[in-house]
Chains A and B, each alone.
Chain A
Amino acid sequence: MSTPILELENVDKSFGPIHVLHNISLKVMPGEVLCLLGDNGAGKSTLIKTLAGVHKPTSGVVRFEGKPVVFDNPKQAQEIGIATVHQFGGTFPLMSIGRSFFVGVEPTKGWGPFKVIDRKKANAVAIKAIQDFGITRIDDGDRLIGGLSGGERQSLAIARAVHLGARVLILDEPTAALGVKQASHVLRIVLEAKKRGISVIFITHQVTHAMAVGDQYAVLIHGSVAANFYRGERTREEITDLMAGGEALAKLEAEVEN
Chain B
Amino acid sequence: MSGQFSFGSLLRRPEAGAFIGLVAVLAFFVVFGGLSFLKTAGVASWLNVAANLGIVAIPIGLLMISGELDISIGAMVPAGSMTVAILSGYFGLPIAVGILAALGFGVLVGLLNGFIVVRTAVPSLIVTLGSLFAVQGLVLGLSVMLTNTTSIPLTSPAWAKAMFGTFIANQFQVIILWWLALTAVYVFVIHFKPVGNWIFAMGGDKVSARNAGIPTERLTIILFVLSATSASFVGVCQAILFNSAQVSSGMSFIFNAIISVVVGGVLLTGGFGSIIGIFFGTITFAIVNQGIYFTDFDRNWSSLIIGVMLLLAVLMNNTFRKMALSYSPKKK
Contact = CB atoms under 8 A, between A and B. Distances in A.
Interface in B197-229: 197-198, 200-201, 204-205, 207-215
A137 B329 CA distance: 9
A52 interface: yes
A78 B213 CA distance: 7
B271 A54 contact: no
B211 A54 contact: yes
Interface string A44-79: 000000001010000000000000000001110010
A117 B200 contact: no
B215 A75 contact: yes
A143 B327 contact: yes
Given A73-B215, A103-B212, A141-B1, A94 B321 contact: yes
A147 interface: yes
Contacts of A84: 211
A241 interface: no
A92 B198 contact: no
B193 A99 contact: no
Interface in B245-296: 267, 271-272
A99 B200 contact: yes
Contacts of B271: 92-95
B328 A147 contact: yes
B324 interface: yes
Given A92-B205, A95-B271, A52 B200 contact: no
A105 B198 CA distance: 10
B193 A115 contact: yes
B192 interface: yes
B326 interface: yes
Contact of A89 (B197, B208, B324): B208
Given A92-B200, A93-B271, A147 B325 contact: yes
Interface string B160-204: 000000000000000000000000000010001110011011001
Interface string A90-109: 11111100011011111010
A222 B280 CA distance: 56
A102 B196 CA distance: 12
A123 B1 contact: yes
Contacts of B207: 89
A10 B42 CA distance: 73
B120 interface: no
B2 interface: yes
B213 A73 contact: yes
A100 B201 contact: yes
A94 B211 contact: no
A103 to B, nearest CB: 4
Interface in A131-183: 137-144, 146-147
B211 A86 contact: yes
B193 A103 contact: no
Nearest to B328: A147
A100 B208 CA distance: 11
Contacts of B188: 116
A120 B2 CA distance: 11
Contacts of A115: 193
A108 B321 CA distance: 28
A89 B192 CA distance: 24
Given A103-B197, A104-B198, A116-B193, A146 B325 contact: yes
Contacts of A138: 329
A103 B210 contact: no
Contacts of B2: 140, 142
B324 A105 contact: no
Contacts of B328: 143, 147
A214 B311 CA distance: 56
Contacts of B198: 103-104
B325 A103 contact: no
Contacts of A140: 1-2, 329
A75 B210 CA distance: 8
A144 B323 CA distance: 10
Nearest to A54: B211
Given A95-B201, A140-B2, A147 B208 contact: no
Contacts of B272: 94
Interface of A: 52, 54, 73-75, 78, 84, 86, 89-95, 99-100, 102-106, 108, 115-117, 120, 123, 137-144, 146-147
16 contacts: A73-B215, A89-B207, A91-B208, A94-B325, A102-B197, A103-B201, A104-B201, A116-B193, A117-B193, A117-B194, A117-B197, A137-B329, A140-B2, A141-B1, A146-B324, A147-B325
Closest 4 CB pairs of A and B: A92-B204, A75-B213, A89-B208, A106-B194
Given A99-B197, A104-B209, A144-B327, 11 more contacts: A84-B211, A89-B205, A89-B208, A92-B209, A92-B271, A94-B324, A95-B200, A103-B214, A117-B197, A139-B329, A147-B325
